[in-house]
Structure 1
Amino acid sequence: MKAYIALIIGALSISTSAIFVKFTDAPSAVIAFYRLFFAVVFMTPLFIVKHIRETKQMNKKDWAFAVLSGTLLAFHFILWFESLRYTSVASSVVLVTLQPIFAFVGGFFFFKEKMTMSEWVSALLAILGSVIISWGDFRVSGEALYGDMLALIACAMVTGYWLVGQHLRKQFSLITYTYIVYGIASLVLSVYVSLFRYSFLSYNANDWWCFVLLAVIPTLFGHSLFNWAMKWVNAAMVSMAILFEPIGAIILAYIWLDEKVYLSQGIGSFFIIVGIGAYILGKHIKNNKKIVAFQKRT
């Protein structure tokens, strides 16, 4: 029961991310930088005490993967936060949730993975949902459609981050992996902020509170609870819980930002959440069948 409560709290925590971004007028790259920078600062004592020795095991290939993963994460945050300047929380968060479908497409085209008919149907449902949302936003304004495109590119970036990061995550602890990747992403973002000559310091108290809260609630508190819950529930259940992020974000945006949800967004969100939910559930059933078949052979 504690694990399921943790999943609910974790889903609510990550739902606040888009809201905090909307509450600050700082440049997207600056928000992204401080979100990860403060997360790294808060993780430093634990990393030094318990995990720093793991870095000695990293070779050149591991560091190359870490740099690529961190760079993809940095640009994911820049693009996603920027999308929130142009489109609604509902459209942006739901479209970013398409990560499993981007992974599905990547696995099919780059790794020649075979997909079942149910997986194709699930993917098509999610894609149909994104088309409905984009079409509805296009009718609202060209800026909203531009924000949708940024959100989709951000989704592709974070999918790459997960795919590249798998190599490291299998070899190192969660703290070591996240600390190094977040640190590299922070460094990339600091260079980006410097190149575009954004200020690092000239922000009001509200902005600084948003930076810290982004680091604590959705980054450390939200994702940490998901990882803690994985000791007792399977990865499919955690993935399904993450699908509640757009629902929570839409509700919070309605309460705190007075953002209305258009019919096209509601219909599109429904198709995306059902499509991704069915896809994750199908993958879980497929993996269980493989495990059972392997156990029978052995």
Structure 2
Amino acid sequence: MNKNYVLLLAGVVLSATSSVFVRFVDVHPFAISFYRVFFAGLFWFAVTLVKDRRELFQVAMDKVGFSFLSGMFLAFYYSAWITSLGYTTVANASVLGALCPVFVAFISWILFKEKIGGRRILGIITCLAGSVLLVLSKMEFGLENMQGDLLAVLGAFFISGYYMLGGYLRKYMSMKVYVTLVYLSSALVLLILMKVSGIGVAGHGMRDTVIMISHGFACSVLGHGIYNYVLGRLSPVTLTLSALTEPVFAIIFAMVLFDETMNIVIFAGIVTILGGLLIYSLPEEKLKNLIQKNNRRAV
């Protein structure tokens, strides 16, 4: 098997463990978020000083400003998404948090007047239908449970801003310099949020501190680092499909480790959203080929 596919699978699995790390600690979401981006940022800063020091210190000030803005979106994303795990299931949080392509389409349409093709509109409508199913599945349990789903959707909005700014910034800087600036900027924003909220950086206990540092290393350094490494080595279709499997792995982990279950409505919502994201993300010709192959197998 191509080593890049093995690496990609490892990256997907590592990224999917984020909810596991979060559930294993009893710490405020701001602190969990801070530890994740701060120690990941320190790691990439050390790497960048060795390999890309000149580029790091020559980044234009306007690009530094946009990096800070990107880091702010990332900080808000982690804060919202990690908080959502305290109110809803890993399944709902993971799948609803993956709705960022829908927000990217709307933001691009509103701000940049980019047209949304018919296939993407179909994908968006499908995702929205699945989201409604997931939210409706929680209505019987009260407003607090719905709050978790809504926070996950809010997180998807914030990560959309992060991705859009990242697409712009990566034209002007290497991956290592970009993640260094963004992670450390995100850590600064979270530090301010913690200060305002009266949450300390230290004093969380050795066990929780080790888990939170491991969270940043496993998910941000290794998981996302592998994604960036294979980005130019595998087809966009392969990467799209792999990204859709990340919530699936997260759901499996939650069912095994936390005894989470799902009813038919939740299952239908998850499948509908993932199907909508597939329709939205795959190139037209690839989607047609995939449908034709499935039709042949069915015959």
Q: Tell me, yes or no, whether TM beats 0.5.
A: yes
* 1:13 pairs with 2:14: yes
Aligned partners of 2:48 and 2:176 also within 8 Å: yes
Relative distance call for 1:58 and 1:245 in structure 2 (3 A) is: same
State TM-score, norm by structure 2: 0.92
Q: Which residue identity does 1:201 align to in structure 2?
A: A
| Matched residue, 1:289 | none
Please give the residue correspondences for 1:1-298 in structure 2 after superposition, counting only pairs within 5 Å.
1-282=2-283
Aligned partners of 1:66 and 1:180 also within 8 Å: yes
Q: Which residue identity does 1:81 align to in structure 2?
A: I
Aligned partners of 1:129 and 1:268 also within 8 Å: yes
Aligned partners of 1:87 and 1:145 also within 8 Å: yes
Structure 1 position 226, deviation (Å): 1.3
Aligned partners of 2:41 and 2:180 also within 8 Å: yes
Q: Which residue identity does 2:90 align to in structure 1?
A: V
For the residues of structure 1 that align with 2:166 and 2:227, how far apart are their CA atoms? Answer: 17
What is the aligned length?
A: 286
For the residues of structure 2 that align with 1:262 and 1:144, how far apart are their CA atoms? Answer: 15
Q: Which residue identity does 1:211 align to in structure 2?
A: M
Aligned partners of 1:136 and 1:265 also within 8 Å: yes
Structure 2: 5+ residue stretches without partners: 288-299
For the residues of structure 2 that align with 1:10 and 1:174, how far apart are their CA atoms? Answer: 16
Structure 1 position 284, deviation (Å): 7.7
Aligned partners of 2:94 and 2:250 also within 8 Å: yes
Percent of aligned positions with the same letter in both sequences?
30
| Partner secondary structure for residue 163 of structure 2 | helix
For the residues of structure 1 that align with 2:102 and 2:117, how far apart are their CA atoms? Answer: 14
**Which range moved further: 11-20 or 201-210?**
201-210
State TM-score, norm by structure 1: 0.92
1:181-230 deviation per Cα after TM superposition (whole angstroms, max 9, x unaligned): 10111011111111111122111233112212211111111111112222
Aligned partners of 1:236 and 1:284 also within 8 Å: no
1:81-106 deviation per Cα after TM superposition (whole angstroms, max 9, x unaligned): 11111111110110000111111111
The CA RMSD measured in Å over matched residues stands at: 1.5
For the residues of structure 2 that align with 1:47 and 1:278, how far apart are their CA atoms? Answer: 38
Relative distance call for 1:215 and 1:284 in structure 2 (3 A) is: farther
Structure 1: 5+ residue stretches without partners: 287-298
For the residues of structure 2 that align with 1:228 and 1:234, how far apart are their CA atoms? Answer: 13
